[in-house]
Structure 1
């Protein structure tokens, strides 16, 4: 891994933040994309979230991967493992270990918008897997997939239920974009949180210790740091709500009072009325047949589908079909 690998899209990522802030905070219903939670502090907070008793997705997905990683290695014979939105890459070590033991793996390509989190993860994996070619790519996986390196056959891992952060049309476009960069017969490993009772879902996104609330507010700290804004994060309440019609959790930030925020780096002054919301995340939950249908529409066939023992979280292994 070289320093150049971690600089590939740095300027482009900064421009993307500026564009998202301008679009989201001037909309009638204000919004911000969840990818901007993840600076170093946000990544650290998310790691804390994954260990909370209320937050089942990480444990449930890890259970599946621990049980099925060797099977995934045999089925895919992957020479390159690509991880999108890698964060700490902790769960992916189960795949790295299985693919290494299988004897096919040559390269690991983690991609993340957070340069600091990616640098830490790639350094740790390079140290633990000295024979592996580790090439971290800083970038937005909705826009930079065509630039991913690696030899076929590749398996692209998109874990953690992050696919649920896309709105349905965005999700379809994203899955098509993954298919476009893969050759026929290459693989997508997709983690999806499943529909379940609303109480379990809402607790997972509004924990008693307030860690998720701090994580949610961190998007405002990122904008302060990167664009010179003067948000007071403590002036916004964390809200998590299950939308039964859409079958997703919505996370929002709610202004406690009338607030004026200056964002010099985006050329904006934004007014918030008391009680006004910024939607910061949707987290869609899925049904197995729906996952298979969405993958088929994008040009994939589900080869294997697994869940944890409590059937809370699903992992699908899908193969790209002839274009």
Structure 2
């Protein structure tokens, strides 16, 4: 119970965000809280499901374009990866641009430590300086990175889609400031496509995405002393045409009252907790957003079906 008591403290960001979201008129939770240790591992499991195409499509693009990327950016210098996760795709980038310093940034520190340990074994000559940080907020990179002439930011996995449209532009502006003039930023984005393909990707037939979403309730129980009945909610993924995004929700199966960090939270049957958005872009909408944040779009790579895009930006 010690962890739960700690989370009851009003200055704890997780407790504050959860209580604010669950007491709002339309209940919601920031998607960044999906990524505790268990959630991060479940997301890696999602990327291996048959229905989830983005990871395979992105990796296929990487295998064809990394040589060209290295010619544009040059080799050496530093790579800063936003939301490093398991860092599997990172190896393709490291092999291509051969940096002297790699800075992974992730909110899930324990999960990142495991990935860094594996990378250290695979790249014994590479300096690695992990930063545990919420990259949706301003972050500070190590001085050793900032002093390098060649600096490349890396944002894989179409995570840019988790931001609201305006917030995505603000994020790109912050990264521009953080990386500095002359830096490159490699950003990956999922593109608009057939709606059924999108829905299956976020509600896979193996139920892994459902487990990923429902793990949020497990985290509430563990860290906030909550008493969610995880069998009384179900996962739902819907396409919002007006906002060009997939939305993930946890839906209450009955009228119920749940206790969270000392507060009573009422749910009506069918009431939703909105847990994640995944916006889908076109090459033109990505270009407009990047240029609005002060970047120049140097190169765009897509797959043969135009399902996924990799955008190289320069500050």
Q: For the superposition of Structure 1 and Structure 2, which TM-score range results when normalised by the shorter chain?
A: over 0.9
Contact 2:77 2:101 survives alignment (8 Å): yes
Contact 1:84 1:111 survives alignment (8 Å): yes
Which ranges of structure 2 fall in alignment gaps of 5 or more residues? 1-10
Q: Where do 1:201-212 residues align within 5 Å?
A: 201-212=198-209
1:8 corresponds to: none
Task: Tell me how far apart the structure 1 counterparts of residues 254 and 72 of structure 2 sit (CA, whole Å).
Answer: 55
CA apart distance, 1:309: 2.0
Task: Tell me how far apart the structure 2 counterparts of residues 183 and 39 of structure 1 sit (CA, whole Å).
Answer: 30
Contact 1:187 1:318 survives alignment (8 Å): yes
SS in 1 for 2:125: coil
Aligned counterpart for 1:20 among listed residues 8, 11, 17: 17
TM-score by length of 1: 0.90
1:113 corresponds to: 107
Task: Tell me how far apart the structure 2 counterparts of residues 148 and 236 of structure 1 sit (CA, whole Å).
Answer: 42
1:318 corresponds to: 313
1:295 corresponds to: 290
1:278 corresponds to: 273
The CA deviation string for residues 113-160 of structure 1, in whole angstroms up to 9 with x for no partner, is 111210111111011111111111111001242345513421111111
Contact 2:52 2:202 survives alignment (8 Å): yes
1:231 corresponds to: 228
2:4 corresponds to: none
TM-score by length of 2: 0.92
1:257 corresponds to: 254
Task: Tell me how far apart the structure 2 counterparts of residues 20 and 187 of structure 1 sit (CA, whole Å).
Answer: 33
Task: Tell me how far apart the structure 1 counterparts of residues 140 and 44 of structure 2 sit (CA, whole Å).
Answer: 29
Aligned counterpart for 1:245 among listed residues 242, 245, 248: 242
SS in 2 for 1:145: coil
SS in 2 for 1:316: strand
2:158 corresponds to: 161
CA apart distance, 1:241: 0.5
The CA deviation string for residues 215-273 of structure 1, in whole angstroms up to 9 with x for no partner, is 01111112222222222222111110011111100000000111222122xx4321111
Q: 1:194 to 1:148 in 2, by over 3 A?
A: farther
Task: Tell me how far apart the structure 1 counterparts of residues 303 and 313 of structure 2 sit (CA, whole Å).
Answer: 18
2:304 corresponds to: 309
Number of equivalent positions:
301
CA apart distance, 1:177: 0.8
> 4+ runs of 1 displaced by more than 4 Å?
none
Q: Where do 1:73-112 residues align within 5 Å?
A: 73-77=70-74, 78-100=76-98, 105-112=99-106
Contact 2:138 2:174 survives alignment (8 Å): no
The CA deviation string for residues 42-80 of structure 1, in whole angstroms up to 9 with x for no partner, is 112111111111110000100111111122222112511
Task: Tell me how far apart the structure 2 counterparts of residues 242 and 86 of structure 1 sit (CA, whole Å).
Answer: 27
SS in 2 for 1:252: strand
CA RMSD for the aligned pairs? 1.3
SS in 1 for 2:270: coil
SS in 1 for 2:221: helix
1:7 corresponds to: none
Task: Tell me how far apart the structure 1 counterparts of residues 12 and 154 of structure 2 sit (CA, whole Å).
Answer: 26
